[in-house]
Amino acid sequence: MVEPTTKESRTQAVYTTLNHIPVGKVTSYGKLASYAGLPGYGRYVGKLLRELPADTSLPWHRVIRSSGQIAFPPGSESFTRQKTRLEKEGVSVINGRIAIKDFQWTP
């Protein structure tokens, strides 16, 4: 049988890993995918987060690009929303970039 990797299992794996990111730390789409057991699924992670409901309890704002920058165009609503949430958790964002040296979270 070859179907242990269904859409639901992938989604669940990503959600679970995302929910384990502690406050004050962030990770990247690609790293999150790898930690969830899905290396190379960075784009898919972005798609999942995009499909999240507005009232979700998942810390989607703790996911940024590997370059340390927010994935939204500066000034957009999503950008501001993410920046505000991050700063409320103690993560400084300057010019769309995470201002701390050790922003990467490792399980």
- Round to whole Å and give the CA distance between 56 and 87: 19
CB of 35 to DNA, least distance (A): 12
CB of 76 to DNA, least distance (A): 10
Footprint of DNA on this chain (CB under 7 A)?
5, 7, 10, 28-31, 40-47, 49-50, 52, 60-61, 63, 65-67, 71-72, 78, 82
CB of 9 to DNA, least distance (A): 11
Nearer to DNA, 50 or 101 (CB): 50
Q: 48 to each of 18, 42, 67, 77, 101, how far by Cα in Å?
A: 11, 10, 20, 19, 27
Residue/partner pairs of 36-39 with CB below 8 Å, 24 or more apart: 36/10, 37/13, 38/10, 38/13, 38/14
CB of 3 to DNA, least distance (A): 12
- Round to whole Å and give the CA distance between 3 and 17: 21
Nearer to DNA, 30 or 36 (CB): 30
Do 13 and 36 form a contact (C-beta atoms < 8 A)? yes
Nearer to DNA, 14 or 24 (CB): 14
Nearer to DNA, 21 or 49 (CB): 49
